[in-house]
Structure 1
Amino acid sequence: MDDQRDQDAGSVVTISADRYEEVAVAITSAVATASELSPLELPPLGDIGVDPEALDALFESSHDPSRRLTFTYAGLLVSLFGDGTITVSPTED
């Protein structure tokens, strides 16, 4: 895995989706890094009600800063931003 955890922020991982061909792959990689799991250990996004093709359509080619999507995946909060940034952080209990 090439994504890095922010050591100052606990298990927060921030990456650029632009480094990946598919937004879903970027999300899975970031969540795997934050949770210290293999991407293969995570459920497919479709299994949690997130359509990978829709993510690509919304975030891959657009750098609209007003776009934002947040959802929970593998017990972590995933936030996608229109500038291509993906942040994975612990959920607030």
Structure 2
Amino acid sequence: MDDQQDENAGSVVTISADRYDDIAVAITSAVATATELTPLELPPLADIGVDPEALDAVFQPSCDTSRQITFQYAGLLVSLFGDGTVTVKQR
């Protein structure tokens, strides 16, 4: 199943990070879908001050589902939730 834009919610993309080996890949994939770019056209998360290894450590499958982090990436607002959901939307 490819990442999908929610046609009823404007430019919102919601995915499950559980489908990916790395959270950074999940985030980049969701942002690429929202921006209609390829993941290679996006800057690495580390270039915008987001540590991919820290995301993996904080959002492990056994983590607290109430955790949430939100940051801007490629002009969009990215939210990562403790249940493994990644949401990308316009700021």
Confirm or deny a common fold (TM above 0.5).
Answer: yes
Q: Give the corresponding residue for 1:6.
A: 6
Higher mean Cα deviation, 26-35 or 1-10? 1-10
Could you tell me the percent identity over the aligned residues? 77
* Deviation of 1:2 (Å): 1.7
Q: 1:1-93 maps to which residues of 2 (within 5 A)?
A: 2-91=2-91
SS, match of residue 69 in structure 1: strand
Gaps of 5+ in 2: none
**Alpha carbon RMSD of aligned pairs, Å?**
1.2
Q: CA deviation at 1:38?
A: 0.5
Q: CA deviation at 1:65?
A: 1.9
3-state SS of the aligned residue for 1:55? helix
* TM-score (norm: length of structure 2): 0.95
Question: For 1:74 and 1:6, how far apart are their aligned partners in 2?
Answer: 19
User: What are the ranges of 5 or more consecutive residues in structure 1 without an aligned counterpart?
Assistant: none
Give the Å deviation of 1:62.
2.9
1:54 to partner: Cα distance: 0.4
TM-score (norm 1): 0.93
Cα deviations by residue, 1:27-84 (Å, 9 ceiling, x for unpaired): 0000000011100000000000000000000113334222000000000000000000
Kindly report structure 1 stretches of 4+ aligned residues shifted beyond 4 Å. none
Q: Hey, which of these two has a bigger chunk of strand by percent?
A: 2
